[in-house]
Structure 1
Amino acid sequence: MFRIALKSVRHNPKRLLLTAFAVALGVSLVAASHTFTNALSSGFSGLFSDIYAATDVIVEEDPDVAESDGGDPFAATEGIFAPADVDAIAGVDGVDVAIGGIQVPGAVLPPESDETATDPFSAGGAPSQLFNWSGIPEIDQSTLVDGRGPESDGELVLDIDAAPRLGYDLGDQVRIATDDGVFEFELVGTVRFGESNSLQGATLGFMTDADAHVLADDPNFQQVSVLVADGTDPGTVVDRVSEVIPDGTRAITGEDKAAEETESLDEVLNYVDIFAIAFALISLFVGAYIIVNTFRIIVTQRTREFGLMRAIGVTGRQVRTMILLEALVVAILASTIGIAMGYLLALAAAGLVSVFAGDIFGTLTLPLEAVLWAYGLGTLVTLVSALLPAITASRISPMEALRESATSGKKPLKVRNIVGAALALVGVIAITTGLYAGLERPYIYVGIGAVLLVLGATLLAAQVLVPMAFGLRHLLTRMFGVDGKLAANNIRREPRRSANTAAALMIGVMLLALVATFTESLKTVVTAQFAQTEADFFVFSTQGAVPPGAIDVIEGVDGVDFSSSLGVDAAMFEGEQLPVATVDPETADAAFDYNNDPDFTELDGGVFIDPGVQDRGVELGDEITLEGPEGEVALTVTGLYLNEGDANFWVDEETGRALFGEVDIVQAMVVLDDAMDVDEAQTALQDALAEDFPLVTLQQPGALEQFANQFIDLLLGVISALLGSALVIAILGVANTLLLSVTERTREIGLLRAVGLKRSSVWRMITVESMVMAVFGTILGMILGVSLGTALVLALEDFGFDGVTIPWVWLVIYTVLAAIAGVVAAIWPAWRASRLDILKAIATDG
């Protein structure tokens, strides 16, 4: 059977060509994603190895009890090791050198003459990494290239790539911005990080211990790097050091630390792979319709062949096995092509990312998991899709060989319609339950219902397409004459095949329409949020928190009426750490509409709670206890914050200080006097901040709204591009179905040509047939997509969505493109049909 299957594929490769390409497109997304993330992991793994592996033992805050960013290698945390702790570690048996390390939360600025933006929304880029200099290459992971290391206060070294990139030479004064202002250092040397200075685009700098402590405003160290004595096992030293270090800290070998950081990064990258696999499954799901149609038509065309095989003793099981082996051959070939396409796609993506982010990738190799996922998904989808046609082929009786026409009887659509109606009904019930039953997380019910509804609509498509084709027959006849009538009849004659073809396109368009509806509604929410603010500026810092001193500078500028700050920290509530926002009750509502009830002026020393806390059973008037680093505070619930997904608790600044001490300001808003010109005020405020706080920037609400909408448009573009493979596959499905249909209708087309039908009429008949299926699939997809997108938006009401925006422009574009796609998909089948030899066509069996 395997030899027969191979010969069958070799004998008629054209009929399986588009099917194989459809599978290859879906598989390529999986291969590209795994290759891309593997190279990214490899690049950062090398970086982590350079950072940690050269150091024998690292003593740091225990990530299990840390309240900082944990695994982020670019985060500067608070110092927890006093100089006495470093001395105690240095005195441990087996320790050769112990050096305290401190990272400065600052940024290296270009020379003052350069007009380089510090706007976080226009500059971007990798961070600056500033540390104290030990002079020991194993500790610094860096070696001097030019000049010397910092020996006295006010001196600095930079890495060999950053210095020329920023425009500094030895002897220049380098500007470093921190929360406390801008400081100048003399550049006395350049260093190379590791073997190749692979910093993934970051800027690396070193200064003296004293300067690092001053700029970090911290007398302690954040970690301690240890080199062990010759012949001493680092693991043994880890055990000994663990006995002398403070609570909440740990000792770990450098190799284990590098492996731990790589593992943390890989966990994040796994989500990227899952994201890509989801879109690949969508593409392969659409491709499944092509596979089913292809093998069903092939089985129909080979009815006599299978009947003859049964007549000479071949069993139904062997026929079924042969069909599945043909599918397996197609799957393996298609998956191989898809892997090659995916690798090339990953190369292109890595090259594009490197242009903007620098050399952040390791060696771009094809990982084993990419190969396994590619072959696994490609093979599984192809075999499952070919199973029903294979079962049909196995049931062909030997008597079929005696039939004059090699066409099998058509099965009724009764079972298909019953199953489709059941799925659609359950889907509608699930969506309705999610929207109106008042359950928690209604979007989960809406999502499940959407999947069931789409599957049901797919199965019921024939019930809509056939009447529509019959109803359009008169219209198509008036528009295209007999060619239009024949096209409508062809669609009606093969409802299962036509419905499958249209359903493939329906799914792709449905997902596009759903995403477009969601993103347009999101843009409306964003626009409404900024329209409701009274603030003239939003204040941010490229270093994260806005320095309190910057707020003082802003309020001291003429023309500023008032400012309102928003701080965020985390407190313990019922054994769980939850975000707490701090506001000034007197100015918060006047600066921004936070969607709270009542106004924050009614906080009155209490707390407002969001829907997530309300779901825990907390109500207005209840008393709750929050525990922060500074202690516990008992609070009465005096109001509600109505949006979900932001902070769980909202308190006033006095309560925030009682919980956290000084709260980091993540955002501030500035309101000007009515007579003040906004543009002039922005210039004045930025000039006032430039000297001491150059990393603090002001943005007008309109600019932020534009940036947010650009990001949403970018998100829509990325998702649309990923869904593009599904749409391409769907169009290939239209072409493939028509092409195989032409082969199946060879005698019919020959007879039509014999009675006078022109080649142009044959071409037009096939093209109209293609356009009707394409437009039908698109319209049904848009109806489903907009409906499900609307349901999703309504289900996310607690996250700030208060209305649905229909993307009418996109819907018109999709319809026009569908008609064009129908014409394009028909070109090859129509050309083949119009070029058939009349006599040979009439003489054929099919």
Structure 2
Amino acid sequence: MGLDRLAWRILAARPLRTLLTTLGVALGVGVLSSSLAMSAGIEAAVDRTVRDVVGSADLRVAAFLEGGLSEATVEAIRMTDGIEVAAPSIERRTFLGAPVTSAGAEAREAVTVVGIEPVAWSRLHELELVAGARLARIDEPSALITESLAEADGYILGSELRIQGHDQPTTLRVIGIIAGPGPVAGAAGRAVIVPVDVARSAFGLEGVTRVDIGLADGVSARDVAERLAERLTLEPYVLSSPADLAEGLRASTADFQATTALVAAIVLFVGSFLIVNTLSMTVGERAREVGLLRAAGATRAQVVRFVLAGALVIGIAGSAFGLVLGLLLGSLMAGSVRALTGFPAEVSSLNAGSLAVAFLVGVAITIAGAVEPAIQAARISPVEALRARLDLPATRRARLGWLALVFVAVAILALLAWPPAAGATGADRALGVYAVLLAATLATPFVLPPLARILGSPLAAFVRLEERLARGSLARDRSRTALTLGALVVGLAMIVALGWTAQAARNAATAWLADVVPGDEVVTSIRPIGPGEAIRGQLAAIEGVRSVTPIATFDLAIRGLRFDAAAIVGADFLADGRLTFIDGERAAALRALDVGGAAILPLPAAERLGLGVGDTISLALGAGTTLDLRVVGVVERSIPGDGGEAILVGWRDASGPIGVPGADVFAVRFEDGAGPAAREALETAARDAALEANPLSRVQGAVTDALGRVFGLFDALALVAVLVAALGIVNTLAMGVVERVHEIGVLRAIGMTRRQASRMVVVEATILGLVGAVLGAVVGLGVGAVLLFLSGGLVASAGLPWASIAIAAVLGLAGPAIAAWYPSRLASRVSIVRALKFE
């Protein structure tokens, strides 16, 4: 107990150093706990979303084709052995007319309309009403709306609600209001639930969108799936379970979780630099006390416990404070997830498991960082310690060697806490990044002296004396300097690497849109616009419009797999110069689409199917019929779909055998020199037709903004690593001043001014910053190259992240300069008389 109290007093004797180290641990644990909190919040959101979407259903059969599931298919599902409840439903997006209430106003935002069979659907889905009654019949002209929609658009019980359908509006009466945003995923709270026959009539449908299935007690979902495969032969369908839906939702946030986990591990690693350095300083500074303890009979084990006790205090205090920081950071992360995916992730508190993991990891890393200083303290010879301060080359070498082991420990802990949704691919990227950073850290002591000499030489022209003294101080304990510099390099490297990754993602997104969209403006519709409707002609008749290209997106079934597809006009793409062909003759391929019987594959689909130009793909169309299309081209990029890039087919095949009812997108190209009036006229016409017009630049800007918000968060987390490194610089510079008190006193005695003493420390920090900025940029490019290579984004067009390099350079210079403020004041206040007495 006496040694434990002594450890506490030694920490209290250096309050600034102890506080900075504790704060470094807290920042690392804060990022880790926020990552764990975010993962827990995502899991809770997944469970909540799955529960809202499928209720208590065990399986879901969804339509694959635009026509939906026929009544014969629904009946076949009902008659399948083992199925107790089959609840068909229809889902469509549309607009509402103005609500007829005193508070009503024209509501232009789209809503999601869900048509249900009230009795069957209510057996699988629970609806919490805040007012009114539930639906009772499949044909009553009534509707339930969400509380969010009622508040936003002014609806109350009894209001008339007009749904814009395929022909004319359908008028319904609001009989109930559902609590909160309602059970429809992706509707942003704007949902309307109506009887299924009302939905059929309003949208001119015969089939249904999906059928939710409840199984009888003791029946296996796998057995029922096999029976459905035998019975459902009329049309292709997608069979899924709640687990499948949950897996898809987790996949949408996997990259985000993987990146936050990676950055959290790196911040912890940087924190370990600070811990190893601080405790090594303490051991070296207290060598005589340790020697006296050994001379008084303390065993090596007791000395080890003495050092580890101090580390335990720092670890517990820092980890506890880090949990508080983590809750705040987790809330910021949740906002970024919602901005990127629209996923309703929330972080209100840490669950017990996440809290315990973050706390224990923080304490474990602190103890791991203290093991090497503890071992070195235990090896102190009493005679040697009483003769001089501990400053042995073996100690310096061991410090760096142990850091490599700490790095491995951090990597193992990071993999153990790795988000399951991120998968093995994300873990491979993390291991690649760890390897680059470890190599850079171990190489730092070898490149530091020459770089310090080269980068410090310009400073010698202005402050020659201070520059030489600063370089001498950096060389005094190279392992300590290397640890301090290594932490700064790792933080700056992550800023450069993440900046490069963000730049490549933005470039890829904007290049993708520019390469595949044959227009300046994208006009979208929430319902298919049939070829017989006059909307395309109305848009084309606007003065200044050169072309209007209809595009429809839908799904195809090929070899039992789902693929995104799009119907296009080949002649329009040919005239506009869109699509980059990898295989096939461009003009012939696009003309073949318009003739029919042809398809153009995006490169990922071609590789997945193992097909090339001249091969044939067979599409399942239902009722045992198929459509064979000849592959006439392979393109680098295609129109984006829900799950990837779309297979391109011509309108003759799409509107004929495939059964696509109409276009959901129009790409509008203006004449050269068309002014703002043409764009305003187009947007006015689009609004009148219940369409939404967006310039391509606005779409590209929205993508860039979304990526910017997410990568901005990652940059902020990487900045935490730079902050931890700055704390280490304060410790190192302050320790350098303490160690050189006698030296500074001598220099002051022979004429050095207080200003020069202060400037010497600032120059030392500046050299550290210059070396850190250069190495950070180089290592950051290496880390970025690994990330881009493993994700397939390392291409010549990615360019170098000059903006991120500039930011890293500014931080590399500003951080050490700010960190030098206190040590420089400490150096300037050294008393000559007291310094000459200092040992």
Give TM-score, length-normalised by structure 2.
0.78
CA distance in 2, matches of 1:499, 1:705: 43
Which residue of 2 is the match for residue 554 of structure 1? 536
CA distance in 1, matches of 2:376, 2:67: 66
Q: Which whole-Å deviations, capped at 9, do the CAs of 1:333-362 have from their partners, x for residues lacking one?
A: 211110122124445666899999999677
- 1:426-825 matched pairs, under 5 angstroms: 451-471=434-454, 475-526=458-509, 528=511, 535-539=518-522, 541=524, 543=526, 546-548=528-530, 553-557=535-539, 558-559=541-542, 560-569=545-554, 571=556, 577-597=562-582, 598-599=585-586, 601-602=588-589, 604=592, 605-612=597-604, 618=610, 623-630=615-622, 631-633=625-627, 636-643=630-637, 647=645, 649-654=647-652, 660-662=658-660, 667-672=665-670, 677=674, 679-690=676-687, 693-694=689-690, 696-786=691-781, 789=784, 801-825=795-819
- Does the alignment pair 1:102 with 2:84? no
* SS of 1:364 mapped into structure 2: coil
Of 151, 154, 157, which residue of structure 2 is paired with 1:164? 151
CA distance in 1, matches of 2:54, 2:558: 36
**Letter paired with 1:20:** T
CA distance in 2, matches of 1:600, 1:783: 45
- CA 1:360 to 1:784, structure 2 compared with 1: closer, same or farther past 3 Å? closer
Q: Which whole-Å deviations, capped at 9, do the CAs of 1:180-224 have from their partners, x for residues lacking one?
A: 366252444342338999999512323344312223543455567
- Does the alignment pair 1:207 with 2:194? yes
Which residue of 2 is the match for residue 436 of structure 1? none
Q: How many angstroms does 1:596 deviate by?
A: 0.9
Moved more, 643-652 or 697-706: 643-652
- Does the alignment pair 1:308 with 2:299? no
**Letter paired with 1:704:** V
CA distance in 1, matches of 2:330, 2:751: 53
* SS of 1:662 mapped into structure 2: coil
**Letter paired with 1:38:** A
Q: Which whole-Å deviations, capped at 9, do the CAs of 1:670-710 have from their partners, x for residues lacking one?
A: 334568x364444444444445x52x322222333333333
Q: How many angstroms does 1:82 deviate by?
A: 5.6
Which residue of 2 is the match for residue 32 of structure 1? 34
CA distance in 2, matches of 1:659, 1:323: 78
**Letter paired with 1:104:** E
The answer as to whether partners of 1:536 and 1:701 remain within 8 angstroms in 2 is yes
CA distance in 2, matches of 1:528, 1:354: 25
* SS of 2:350 mapped into structure 1: coil
The answer as to whether partners of 1:794 and 1:802 remain within 8 angstroms in 2 is no
CA distance in 2, matches of 1:32, 1:831: 36
CA distance in 2, matches of 1:51, 1:795: 35
- CA 1:766 to 1:716, structure 2 compared with 1: closer, same or farther past 3 Å? same
Which residue of 1 is the match for residue 421 of structure 2? none
Which residue of 2 is the match for residue 85 of structure 1? 75
Q: How many angstroms does 1:28 deviate by?
A: 0.9
Q: How many angstroms does 1:483 deviate by?
A: 2.9
The answer as to whether partners of 1:582 and 1:653 remain within 8 angstroms in 2 is yes
CA distance in 1, matches of 2:710, 2:225: 50
CA distance in 2, matches of 1:352, 1:625: 40
The answer as to whether partners of 2:396 and 2:479 remain within 8 angstroms in 1 is no
CA distance in 1, matches of 2:340, 2:707: 20
- CA 1:469 to 1:629, structure 2 compared with 1: closer, same or farther past 3 Å? same
Q: How many angstroms does 1:34 deviate by?
A: 3.1
> Which structure 2 segments of 5+ residues have no match?
233-239, 408-423
The answer as to whether partners of 1:129 and 1:205 remain within 8 angstroms in 2 is yes
Of 159, 172, 175, which residue of structure 2 is paired with 1:189? 175
Q: How many angstroms does 1:504 deviate by?
A: 1.4
Moved more, 506-515 or 746-755: 746-755
Q: How many angstroms does 1:40 deviate by?
A: 5.6
Q: Which whole-Å deviations, capped at 9, do the CAs of 1:769-819 have from their partners, x for residues lacking one?
A: 1121122201221233346546766887x7695524334344334323432
Of 375, 379, 391, which residue of structure 2 is paired with 1:391? 375
The answer as to whether partners of 2:445 and 2:479 remain within 8 angstroms in 1 is yes
CA distance in 2, matches of 1:243, 1:594: 40
The answer as to whether partners of 1:536 and 1:678 remain within 8 angstroms in 2 is no
**Letter paired with 1:332:** I
The answer as to whether partners of 1:732 and 1:825 remain within 8 angstroms in 2 is yes
* SS of 1:628 mapped into structure 2: strand
**Letter paired with 1:31:** S
Q: Which whole-Å deviations, capped at 9, do the CAs of 1:547-590 have from their partners, x for residues lacking one?
A: 44598512344145444344555556667555455443322232
**Letter paired with 1:193:** A
- CA 1:247 to 1:624, structure 2 compared with 1: closer, same or farther past 3 Å? closer
Which residue of 2 is the match for residue 73 of structure 1? none
Q: How many angstroms does 1:324 deviate by?
A: 3.4
Q: Which whole-Å deviations, capped at 9, do the CAs of 1:24-76 have from their partners, x for residues lacking one?
A: 112112222333453565466556657766xxx6475358xx759xxxxxxx9
- CA 1:444 to 1:572, structure 2 compared with 1: closer, same or farther past 3 Å? farther
CA distance in 2, matches of 1:267, 1:792: 19
CA distance in 2, matches of 1:701, 1:268: 25
- CA 1:624 to 1:396, structure 2 compared with 1: closer, same or farther past 3 Å? farther
Q: How many angstroms does 1:505 deviate by?
A: 1.4
Which residue of 2 is the match for residue 366 of structure 1? 350
The answer as to whether partners of 1:643 and 1:800 remain within 8 angstroms in 2 is no
Q: Which whole-Å deviations, capped at 9, do the CAs of 1:355-405 have from their partners, x for residues lacking one?
A: 999996778232123223312431333233333333333332232223144
- CA 1:650 to 1:102, structure 2 compared with 1: closer, same or farther past 3 Å? closer
CA distance in 2, matches of 1:87, 1:275: 43
- CA 1:473 to 1:772, structure 2 compared with 1: closer, same or farther past 3 Å? closer
Q: How many angstroms does 1:3 deviate by?
A: 5.7
The answer as to whether partners of 1:771 and 1:822 remain within 8 angstroms in 2 is yes
* SS of 2:191 mapped into structure 1: strand
Which residue of 2 is the match for residue 428 of structure 1? none
The answer as to whether partners of 1:34 and 1:273 remain within 8 angstroms in 2 is no
The answer as to whether partners of 1:110 and 1:166 remain within 8 angstroms in 2 is no
The answer as to whether partners of 2:160 and 2:174 remain within 8 angstroms in 1 is no
- CA 1:686 to 1:101, structure 2 compared with 1: closer, same or farther past 3 Å? farther
**Letter paired with 1:763:** S
> Which structure 1 segments of 5+ residues have no match?
69-75, 120-126, 228-232, 251-255, 424-440
* SS of 1:757 mapped into structure 2: coil
Give TM-score, length-normalised by structure 1.
0.78
* SS of 2:692 mapped into structure 1: strand
- CA 1:608 to 1:375, structure 2 compared with 1: closer, same or farther past 3 Å? same
- Does the alignment pair 1:831 with 2:825? yes
Which residue of 1 is the match for residue 310 of structure 2? 326
Q: How many angstroms does 1:286 deviate by?
A: 1.7
**Letter paired with 2:734:** L
- CA 1:490 to 1:349, structure 2 compared with 1: closer, same or farther past 3 Å? same
Which residue of 1 is the match for residue 236 of structure 2? none
CA distance in 2, matches of 1:699, 1:750: 70
